[in-house]
Amino acid sequence: MKFHVLTLFPEMVENAVHTSITGRALKNGTLSLHTVNIRDFSDNKHMRVDDYPYGGGAGMVMQPEPVFQAWKSVACPDHAGRGKKPRCIYLTPQGIVLNQTMVEEFAMEEELILLCGHYEGIDERVLEEVVTDYVSIGDYVLTGGELAACVFIDAVSRFVPGVLSNEESSQFESMQDHLLEYPHYTRPEAWHDRKVPEVLLQGDHRKIQAWRQEQSVERTRQRRPDLLEKNRQATAAFFSPTGGTRRAVEIFTEFLTQNPRYLDLGRRKLRKEKWKFSSGDFLVAAAPVYGGQLPDIQEPLFSNLHGEKTPCVIMAAYGNRHYDDTLAQMQYRLEEQGFICIGAIAPVIPHIYSDILGKGRPDEKDIRIIRKFAVEIKKRLETGEQYGFTSVKVPGNPLPAPKQMKPVEKSFDRARCTKCQVCVQRCPVNAISQETLQIREDRCLNCMSCVKVCKAGARGYDCSQVADYLEKNYSVPKEIQFF
């Protein structure tokens, strides 16, 4: 991440940013800071860059030309071979108050220009020409934008990969879920007759995590009840027989919240239970794509989830061919059951029938796209809380005719079978007989979960013809799409 700071007082920014964690990141090259003295672009022999305001009034106003030339020195499209101008942020009390979602969004940029005003402000004409974002760090006035720029750089830098060490990242992020951080304690165990809470000394990490969550909620209720109103319990309900969809939904959900709840709909018991969500909850619904549609099971997938105008995101994970009608099916089904689909994404995952299609996906590039989508969803949640949630438009037929999937030839070596019954237990659609261990083809999804979980290697399948066709026609890696 490269920061350009246009300022009248470069030393204020340099001294602050070259200290502590940001200073370390500057030394190792994770961050770059380039301060530009606006006075260097003055056409006045006294290096003045301000003048009296038209219409009268107290104070002085910064002139447009020096500011424009300072901006042009770093933002010109052909400067240093760049193809586009970086975003230019003007630090001003008139801007949108900086919050955690904005910080995450800015952190995904490669370069940012920060413009620091002074005196009574900057000529409006140059602001209209160069500024892309107006940002405030609070509802109060400073003598200039330099300290605000330092706050901005510090907040954004925490989200730049490599800036924080693992130990520092474990604290990330007290405002992530609109909750304040829980209390912290260190040695000694007793100090001024105050003792460390017993739960922290017992080593039971599940109890510690529960205690910390309770403390976060209670502290927020006492000190910032306005934040607590924005806190949503995020639940990821997924169907993932072989794990690819689960990995994709976990990557996405963990960009959204520190405390997700996971609901594995591959477990038949959980599909039989009714799950209700309030308007203050948030749902992520994820499923793999089978032949361009949702998996066809006895009890329609997600039919046991019920919302009350609950915002949700839908995810259709596919093996590099196409997701076809799956997103449309998911949206129709969930919105019929009381949800509002505010976003949709179709990530690529490894294809179960091919070692080539979707291999290694989601990869690093995919993860960057998923992160960008997560930030966009946070923005939609914030907007929806204020103005109401809007259903997103997705491609596809919400009510497609069911496809007849051609069965894949499967094999079962009884000599190798240890009768451990894991394949029976893990089959998401109860298609394997507990007595005979035979597969009922009328129920089987061809998901090959049974093959994957069989440690003895007793189960196998031959999908070579399907794999050849897919690899011949769909080997070019697809980009993640989101809506």
Tokens (6 digits) for 306: 């019920």
Judge whether 420 lies within some domain.
Answer: yes
Secondary-structure breakdown of the chain: helix, strand, coil percentages, each rounded to the nearest 5: 35, 20, 45
Write down the pTM of the prediction.
0.91
Judge whether 471 lies within some domain.
Answer: no
Q: Are residues 395 and 256 in the same domain?
A: yes
Enclosing domain of residue 429: 409-462
Of 351, 370, 401, the residue at which a domain comes to its end is 401
Q: Are residues 316 and 263 in the same domain?
A: yes
Torsion angle (degrees, nearest 10) of CA 414, 420, 423, 427: 140
Torsion angle (degrees, nearest 10) of CA 347, 297, 324, 356: 50
Q: Is the pLDDT of residue 170 over 50?
A: no
- Percentage of the chain exceeding pLDDT 90: 88
Q: Are residues 178 and 279 in the same domain?
A: no
Q: Are residues 144 and 72 in the same domain?
A: yes
Range of lowest pLDDT (162-176, 201-215, 262-276, 320-334):
162-176
The DSSP line for 103-130 is HHHHHT-SEEEEEE-BTT-B-HHHHHHH
Judge whether 269 lies within some domain.
Answer: yes
Mean pLDDT of the chain: 94
pLDDT digits (tens, 9 = 90+) for 378-430: 999 999 999 999 999 999 999 999 987 777 899 999 999 999 999 999 999 99
Judge whether 15 lies within some domain.
Answer: yes
Judge whether 79 lies within some domain.
Answer: yes
Q: Are residues 246 and 357 in the same domain?
A: yes
Q: Are residues 346 and 246 in the same domain?
A: yes
Helix runs in 29-135, H state only: 64-75, 100-107, 124-130
Tokens (6 digits) for 330: 């998911």
Q: Where are the beta strands (DSSP E) in 231-309?
A: 234-238, 261-264, 275-276, 282-288, 305-306
Query: Alpha-carbon distance 328 to 333, whole Å?
Result: 9
Three-state SS at 412 = strand
Three-state SS at 36 = strand
Q: Are residues 205 and 315 in the same domain?
A: no
Q: What is the pLDDT of residue 173?
A: 57
Any residues with CB less than 8 A from the CB of 452 and at least 6 apart, and which?
242, 243
Q: Are residues 163 and 247 in the same domain?
A: no
State the CATH number of the domain containing residue 395.
Answer: 3.40.50.360
Judge whether 483 lies within some domain.
Answer: no
State the CATH number of the domain containing residue 222.
Answer: 1.10.1270.20
- What value does the mean pLDDT take over residues 313-319? 98
Cα within 13 Å of Cα(312), Cβ side: 32
Q: Are residues 264 and 135 in the same domain?
A: no
The DSSP line for 313-372 is EEEEEBSSS--TTHHHHHHHHHHHTTEEEEEEEE-B---TT-SSTTTT-S-HHHHHHHHH
- What value does the mean pLDDT take over residues 152-177? 79
Domain count, the chain: 4
**Crossing angle of helices 10-17/20-28, nearest 10°?**
90
Query: Alpha-carbon distance 271 to 264, whole Å?
Result: 8
Q: What is the pLDDT of residue 228?
A: 87
Q: Is the pLDDT of residue 156 over 70?
A: yes
Q: Is the peptide bond before 188 cis (omega within 30 degrees of 0)?
A: yes
Q: Are residues 293 and 201 in the same domain?
A: no
Q: Are residues 278 and 299 in the same domain?
A: yes
Judge whether 218 lies within some domain.
Answer: yes
Judge whether 472 lies within some domain.
Answer: no
State the CATH number of the domain containing residue 440.
Answer: 3.30.70.20
Q: Are residues 309 and 442 in the same domain?
A: no
